[in-house]
Structures are given as structure tokens and as C-alpha cells.
Structure 1
Amino acid sequence: MTAGQPVRHLTAAELIDVVLDPGTFTSWDEPVPGPHPDEKYERELQAARDKSGVDESVLTGEGLIRGRRVAVIVSEFRFLAGSIGLAAANRIVAAIERATREELPLLAGPASGGTRMQEGTLAFLSMVKISAAVRTHRRARLPYLVYLRHPTTGGVMASWGSLGHVTVAEPGALLGFLGPRVYEALYGAPFPENVQVAENLYDKGLIDAVVPPELLSEIVDRALNVLSPQATEPVAPPATLDVVPAAVDAWTSIEISRNRRRPDLRRLLAWAAQDVLPLNGTGQGEKDPGLQLALARFGDQSCVVLGHNRSRATPESAMGPASLREARRGMKLAEELGLPLLTVIDTAGAALSKDAEEGGLAGEIARSLYDLIGLHSPTVSVLLGQGAGGGALALLPADRTIAAHHAWLSPLPPEGASAIMHRSTEFAPALSEAQGVNVAALHANGLVDHIVDERDDAAEEAKAFCLRLGAAIEYELAALAGTPMDDLLVRRTAKYRDLGPRLATAAE
């Protein structure tokens, strides 16, 4: 979703016209206070009104986007560089609070140099109350979407500009904390080029996409189709509920799972999901090719999706600690919006490197397990193919687990386990059978709840397999909907506590 072509920077009214359905915008703005007692500042305010044609640096209101009611807050940069003083801050807070009361999703389009220097520290402190209003809105499980426009810097970028559930940016936009003019004045040198631009922030995992204004309504619509799901009809049980484990040994399944043509998460989303909106990075300056994060719907069932990115599986792109920090962003998003979480497991193992160790990979696996076992959202995990080691375990805990016929789960790749036990890899086939890594053993021991058949190898019927798996995912998501969260948490914990054959006790 990146786009590098230059675009004309739109005024607030022009952006509203581009994004909202024609003729649907209704302003929420109240008149600003009367003349400012500082005459010089009042002259600046009047000049800004004359230049911009608006009374303050933000416009607020509501309209329809693809027929859906949405609240909007849009900066007008021509009004004193979009700066936020007390009047603008109060207007923003009032709009956020109204959107919260009326249970509306909110789209913010900042373009600002930050807080208004003419109003000093009180204007600076107003970023706190704006952030508090955004927090209340988000805690009400209402979507908050941000479109960062050129330029967005200072206190705006450091508050309501950086709090979106989904954050996209205008191509070529200058985005950063410290404006380049301020940096040069303070340090006597220009700020390094191409750092504070939207495309670089995307590359660094700080924003989710770079899109021109004319595509913004499509992105918002796709996001809200997932983030604001509607009531759905019951889902009919799929035929896969009757599938039994494949009658092959564990090593056969392992070899089949390693076929490079085997369908991966990317193909699953392309063929079996709708309204897929990829998200990008942790939002904290990290992204890792080992993991994919997205919003999506399977049938009418919305979810947050996170999983291993098999399509780029190389030693350099194995799942590292940043992958799990990105995954935990997805977990938080699901929990905050009350959406189910879908995790997809398909990995030959987590990264084995100096960077992974120093980046705290083991701790990130532990925190992922901690978060998943207690996540306040319904969860479904899918064993899609390879499931080696802590990299697989980190995404596994869920209320329901679906497995492809030839998926597997092992403490290490079987060759590694063989090397530990026999100082040779030649015992990998026998050891994989003895360890119970395949779906037959996982199902018998209570981990796998639902099996999706391969006929006889998913690589040979990739689209048909993905459609069957998508139907199974839709069914499991629907089956969990409406179950009280306290019940799900109790059952989830019990499932993992009680895994394996039940041993007789002395009392029996």
C-alpha cells in the first residue's frame, strides 16, 4: 500500500470532500471565543482567519464514508501552521467526547507544526487532555484511525497523531517530533535527509501504510468493516468437523510440510479472507519480515490476524524478537476492540543469532505466552505447516486450535532433537514419531480441536485447501462469539493444564 508519487497537499475542506461521501459532512464546531486580549496575537489570529477561510486550526464534524457514519477531526495547516492552542484543543476534545458518546468511529487527519507558541505552556499541556479523550474513546472499544498529513510534528505527532489503532500517512509527508527548522537552529546543522518522511516511517514499522488522499476512504472502509463488525447469522458447521488425522507417519507429514509450494498465510488471506488490511511493524520503530499482522474477515467474522510469514522464510527472515513485539501489538489491538484473534503457525524455528539473543527473544516468547493465555478476546490458532520450537509455541495458546493434516509441532526441528539425543541427525524420522509431533498425536492428546484435510498434499490443491481452512476458521470464530470472556479464560487455562493422557490417581 505504499505510494511514492507526489501529491498536492489538501486543505481541511478539500480532504473532507475527498474522503466523505458527497454532501454528508455536518460540522460540529462551536464559535471560538471572542478577541484575544493580546492585541498582536489577535491580529495574527485574524490574519489566519482571512488567509484560511476558517475560524481555527481544526475542523470537526461527522459524515458518511461508504455509507457508514464516522466522526472526523481535520487540521487546517494554513491557519497558523495548524498549531494547537486552547481553543483548538477544546474543539478537538469536544469532538472526541461526542464521538465517544454517540459510539462513532473517529478519523483524525492532523497537519500541524505542534502546539501554538503564542499560547505557551498551557497550549502545550492541552496535549494531555486530548490524549486522555482519545484514551477514553479507545477504551470504549471504538476505532480511532489516523491519517498523518504533511507536515505533522511536535506535540501533535507526540499525542493524538500517534495513538491510532491504524495509522496511515500522506505520500512524502514530513512527520516527526522535532521540526527540521528547530533542529537546525538548536544544533547548527541540517537534520539528516529522508528521515522524517512518511515512506521512511513505513520502512521502520512506525506507520501502517502510505496512501494518497483519494484512496483513504477505501482504507477506512476496509478497516471499519473489520473494526466495527455488524451482527451476523449463525455459521453452518463445515464438513471439516468430521475430518480425522491423516494415516501417515510423522516424518511423512514433516516432509510434506516443507514443500516450498505449500500455501502460506499470504495465500490464505488472499483466497479465503475479505477486507484484508495489512498492518506494519510494532509502531515503535521495529518491523520484522518473520511475521505478518493484519485485520481481516473470514465470511462475516472479523478478526485480528497474526502469523508466521512463510513466503519470505530464509535464515535472515526467521522470526526474531521484533516479530513478537509486533504480534503483541496485534494482541493488544484485539483485546482493546473486543475482536477475536487468529494466530497462524508455520515456522521452521525462531531466529538463532546474536541480535535475537541480545534483543531478548526468550523473554518475548515468554511474554507472548503470558499475554495469549490470559487474553481478554476469543482466540483461534491454526497449525498450518511447520511448527518448530519456541517460535511456534509463542503463537499457539488459544481457545480452539485448527490443524492442517500435515502440520506438526515440536520442541525443535526433528534433526535438532536427533542431534541432541544421538549426536546425529539420522534419527530424526524415528524421533519425530516417538515425540508425537504430528496431528494424530496432537489431536489424541487434546491440543488440536479441528482438522482440515489435505487431498493429499495442500501444495497440490492450494486454493481449494485455503477455502476449506477459511471455512473452518469462520466456523470456529463464530462458535466463540458471545461466550462470556470469563468462561473462555477458565476453559483456555484448563485446556493447557490438562493436555495429554489422563493418568489414574491412587484414589481411582
Structure 2
Amino acid sequence: MTARQLIELVLDPDSFESWDEPIDISGYAEKYQQELLRARERTGVDESVLTGRGTVHGRPVAFVVNEFGFLAGSIGRDAAQRIVTAIRRATAEGLPLLASTASGGTRMQEGTPAFVRMVDISRAIMDHRAAGLPYLVHLRHPTTGGVFASWGSLGHVTVAEPGALVGFLGPKVYETLYGDPFPSGVQVSENLADRGIIDAVVSSAELPALVERALGILLDEVEPSSRERRVLPDGVNGAVWDSVMRTRRPGRAGVRDVLRRGSDATLRLKGTDEGERDASMLVALARLDGVPCVVVGQDRTKQTPASPMGPGALREARRGMRLAEELGLPLVSIIDTPGAELSKEAEEGAIAGEIARCIATMSTLTVPTVSVLLGQGTGGGALALLPANVVVAAQHSWLSPLPPEGASAIVYGDIDHAEELARRQQIGAADLHANGVVRQIVAEPEGDTPEGLADAVAAEIGHWLRQLTSDRARAQAQR
């Protein structure tokens, strides 16, 4: 697909507006000028990138699109300047930015002077992000070299088309240099998604829907609540051991249920975007009860003795925290874990440090934050997602430094006193509320369903996000 074909596919009809100025190539060597002229004649465009603005489902967006047919989409000084100019204009006009790459990297005909311009492009993108404006990246086949190693890897959300070759080193270059073919299946978009380097595999035809969903979550106003709160009356209590047992049962509502039932639009993000992925942590852009937010949540369905929550999961959570802060969105953290991984690999992966960094990051966020004790809340893995402006708890949730059986083993040398210690250590939601850890408890009446609890939790999150956002706006107005 050519750059123009992609633009026609993604943008609304008649919304295209080019920002490109004519490029003067008279200063280049004659041989290189001839190459550029042939590329222009062959492709019908004057450089390897086209820039401008348009709308996607009525939403204004700025774009930078590679044309691979023009000298393999390589980025010379003129192309780099065109990209920088477009990004700076998008930032000045407050527009979200969509980049669609298809490139072999920097232009070898221009050497180092072109190579170093990747720094200028990256700097412009980071200024765009610092302005709180979304940057979405679509990697087409192929995207390699300096493009992938700079502006192709800096998106808030990054996707690639199916089967695309995406990598740092071109496989032909590798084989020429080392005499062996590059291992197959590595530099393929599906593998990158599995490894947590990109968020999803999305065809060009699906791109308009993805852009619409992402921008709808990020930019649309808060909508009125469509759900009823279910607050537990004061004084209502129950046996904490019963709560522990309830949260361990299969079928209890988890973070997936809260998103499925409570979010009007959800865009899942995968991995740390740094080559690490742990399925026990879910990170998503969402509109919970009509409020745009970033959700980081421990997925109860993915945590087993064989695959506990490891340090990579907490690094994924910190990615979500950083996104919330950068985009100015509230953060919702959902706690539901039998405990973090205890192993040699976890220790060498800095599990303790990641718990500390999550606590530190959440404690210093400036955006509104709500954390939810949804089920089990064991140890440092639970504490990592706890610090927030408001902590909400489901009636049968609990928070403990160790599972009650572990506490019993330390204190008594057996697990027979687990129920007693659960009471003594005040781990239940009612005790946490009485001690000031929890602000509000969501009732779980007898006969409750996972769907009912998920709806009620979403309503409670929406209530507090609206209040915190309103309080923040008033405080800013008074400064």
C-alpha cells in the first residue's frame, strides 16, 4: 500500500490537507539528484514521507506517513525536516499525531548528517507527548533501522500490520555481515506483540477504528454515570475467613469483568513496550462508567502457582502509571493477587525494587487516582498498587502482608491458626475501613453475581473519579 492509498483509507473523504512544502534538491550531488528524480517519477511523491492533517471519523488528527517506494522509505535530511515541522505544527495546534512507518531506516546516500536527524525527530515527539497530546504509531512492512529505533518506537500506543518485518537490523544486512541468515520469526509483528514490544497486530483497514477508539477514550468528555452505586452500610460486618474463602473461588469477578461490564470503550495495551510481557497484569485505556482513565489491574485468571505475578507485571503497571501522568488521565489500579512471585528469577528480576518503584510512582502521581481492593490482596504485590487518592474495597476483599496461612506458619509453625490470624491482623475490608485505609466499601449482598459486583465496582470508581477530577479542576482554578 502506498502512502497516498493509506491516507485515503484512514482519513475521512475530502478531509486531507497537505502540510508539505516543495523540496529543493539542487544542492545535492548530480548522481544523487538523479536518484531522487527517478524516485519522484516512480512514486509520484517528492520525498519518502507525506505529512498533513485530516479527520478520522470526524476527529482531527495530524499524520506522518512513509512512502516505501521512495528509496525504501529512507529518511534523509529533507524528509527528517518535513517530519519535525509536521510534529511541531501538530503540537502547536493541539492535534493528536498518527505516524505510519514503512522504511529501511536512515538514507545511506546522505550518511551521518541524515542519521543524526533521528534525534531531532525524537525530540519533537517527546515535546509533543510532554504537551499531553496522543501519539499513535502504525508500523507497516517493513520498518527497520533508525526509523524503528527512534520515532517508530515512541508511541503511547504502537501497533503493526500482520506479518510485517519490524526490527532494528535488516535481515539482509545481518546475513551479509555475518554469513548466516537471521533467525526466522523474530522480526515479525506477531512475535513483537507476544513479547510486549508492541501493543497489537492491526491491519491498515482496521486502523481507522483503532484511531477512533483510542482518541475517543483519550479526548472525549466525561459522560454521566449510567450505573448505581452499592455502598455497604456502616456497621455491617462478617467473618473475615469467609471473605478469604470467597475471594479464592473460581468465578469471582475480576478486572476483566470490571472492564467488560463497566467500560464503554477499552483499548488493551500489551507489555512494557520494552520487550517484556506478563499476562498477570492487565493495562488498558478505558472509559469506566463514562470516565476516561488508565487501568492497571492484577488479572486473577492468569495468576497460578505455576505462573505467579512476576517483576515484569509490575513494570507493565508502571508503564500504565506513566501513561496516565503524561496524558493527564486518572489512574485506576485494581488489586487482586495471591501474592508476587517468590523465586530465584523474581529476585534477579528485581521484584522488591519493582514493588518499591510502583509504590513510589503511585504515591507521587499528580493525576486523580483510585485503587480498588477487588479480591485477594497479598503482600508487596498488592501494596504496589494500593497508594491512591481514594481506596475502594469490595466487601469481601482483604489486604495482608502474607496469606493467612503464611502468617500462621511464622507465628505458630503451622497453618492451623490461619483463620485466627486473619481476624487478629485486621485484614478484612471492614477493618481496613475502620483503620482509614479504605474510603468506601462496595456491598456484596447474598446471591450477588460477578456481573453485579463488576457493575457496582465500576459505578464506585466512576463516582470517585468524577469527584476527584472536579476537586482537581477547582484547585487549579484557584491557583
> Same fold, TM exceeding 0.5?
yes
The SS at the match of 1:307 is: strand
Aligned position for 2:85: 94
- Aligned counterpart for 1:450 among listed residues 403, 427, 440: 440
Letter paired with 2:451 = K
- Aligned counterpart for 2:21 among listed residues 27, 30, 41: 30
* Cα distance in 2, alignment partners of residues 309 and 318 from structure 1: 11
Post-superposition offset of 1:323: 0.5
* Cα distance in 2, alignment partners of residues 245 and 298 from structure 1: 29
Aligned position for 2:299: 309
TM-score under structure 2 normalisation?
0.97
Aligned position for 2:152: 161
Aligned position for 2:7: 16
Letter paired with 1:374 = T
The SS at the match of 1:483 is: helix
Aligned position for 1:194: 185
1:332-358 alpha-carbon deviations (Å, 9 max, x no partner): 000011111000000111111111111
Change in Cα spacing, 1:486 to 1:152, as seen in structure 2 (3 Å) is farther
Structure 1 residue 440 and structure 2 residue 450: aligned? no
The SS at the match of 2:143 is: coil
Change in Cα spacing, 1:208 to 1:140, as seen in structure 2 (3 Å) is same
Structure 1 segments, 4+ long, off by >6 Å, are 485-488
Native 8 Å contact 2:40 2:46 kept in 1: yes
Residue pairs, 1:323-334, within 5 angstroms: 323-334=313-324
1:286-329 alpha-carbon deviations (Å, 9 max, x no partner): 00121111010013210000010111221132111000111111
The SS at the match of 1:401 is: strand
Aligned position for 1:465: 453
* Cα distance in 2, alignment partners of residues 172 and 166 from structure 1: 19
> Which stretch shows the higher mean deviation, 33-42 or 88-97?
33-42
Native 8 Å contact 1:324 1:365 kept in 2: yes
Post-superposition offset of 1:257: 1.1
Identity, % of aligned positions: 56
Structure 1 residue 76 and structure 2 residue 67: aligned? yes
Aligned position for 1:399: 389
Gaps of 5+ in 2: none
- Aligned counterpart for 2:241 among listed residues 238, 247, 251: 251
Native 8 Å contact 1:291 1:306 kept in 2: yes
1:421-478 alpha-carbon deviations (Å, 9 max, x no partner): 00111101111001000011000011111111112264xx111221111111111111
1:393-419 alpha-carbon deviations (Å, 9 max, x no partner): 011100001111100000000000001
Letter paired with 2:56 = I
Change in Cα spacing, 1:17 to 1:390, as seen in structure 2 (3 Å) is same
Post-superposition offset of 1:208: 0.1
The SS at the match of 1:96 is: helix
* Cα distance in 2, alignment partners of residues 454 and 462 from structure 1: 10
Change in Cα spacing, 1:290 to 1:246, as seen in structure 2 (3 Å) is farther
Native 8 Å contact 1:376 1:485 kept in 2: no
Aligned position for 2:135: 144
* Cα distance in 2, alignment partners of residues 226 and 245 from structure 1: 38
* Cα distance in 2, alignment partners of residues 200 and 35 from structure 1: 43
Structure 1 residue 342 and structure 2 residue 332: aligned? yes
Change in Cα spacing, 1:261 to 1:196, as seen in structure 2 (3 Å) is same
Native 8 Å contact 1:381 1:401 kept in 2: yes
Aligned position for 2:467: 479
Native 8 Å contact 1:378 1:485 kept in 2: no
The SS at the match of 2:103 is: coil
- Aligned counterpart for 1:129 among listed residues 120, 123, 126: 120
Aligned position for 1:7: none
* Cα distance in 2, alignment partners of residues 18 and 233 from structure 1: 30
Structure 1 residue 213 and structure 2 residue 204: aligned? yes
- Aligned counterpart for 2:195 among listed residues 204, 207, 213: 204
Aligned position for 1:354: 344
Native 8 Å contact 2:118 2:146 kept in 1: yes
TM-score under structure 1 normalisation?
0.91
Letter paired with 1:473 = I
Change in Cα spacing, 1:246 to 1:193, as seen in structure 2 (3 Å) is farther
Native 8 Å contact 2:272 2:319 kept in 1: yes
* Cα distance in 2, alignment partners of residues 97 and 221 from structure 1: 23
Change in Cα spacing, 1:457 to 1:313, as seen in structure 2 (3 Å) is farther
* Cα distance in 1, alignment partners of residues 427 and 126 from structure 2: 44
Native 8 Å contact 2:359 2:384 kept in 1: yes
Native 8 Å contact 1:306 1:343 kept in 2: yes
The SS at the match of 1:100 is: helix
Letter paired with 2:280 = G
Native 8 Å contact 2:247 2:376 kept in 1: yes
* Cα distance in 1, alignment partners of residues 175 and 19 from structure 2: 39
1:132-156 alpha-carbon deviations (Å, 9 max, x no partner): 1001100000000000111111110
> Which stretch shows the higher mean deviation, 129-138 or 240-249?
240-249
Post-superposition offset of 1:234: 6.4
CA RMSD after TM alignment: 1.6
Aligned position for 2:366: 376
1:80-109 alpha-carbon deviations (Å, 9 max, x no partner): 000000110111011100100000000000
Post-superposition offset of 1:220: 1.1
Native 8 Å contact 2:161 2:203 kept in 1: yes
- Aligned counterpart for 1:298 among listed residues 281, 288, 298: 288
Post-superposition offset of 1:20: 1.2
Aligned position for 1:411: 401
Structure 1 residue 276 and structure 2 residue 266: aligned? yes
Change in Cα spacing, 1:151 to 1:246, as seen in structure 2 (3 Å) is farther
* Cα distance in 2, alignment partners of residues 109 and 158 from structure 1: 14
* Cα distance in 2, alignment partners of residues 443 and 252 from structure 1: 18
* Cα distance in 2, alignment partners of residues 237 and 214 from structure 1: 34
1:189-212 alpha-carbon deviations (Å, 9 max, x no partner): 111111111011111100000011
* Cα distance in 2, alignment partners of residues 156 and 130 from structure 1: 10
Change in Cα spacing, 1:161 to 1:237, as seen in structure 2 (3 Å) is closer
Native 8 Å contact 1:84 1:115 kept in 2: yes
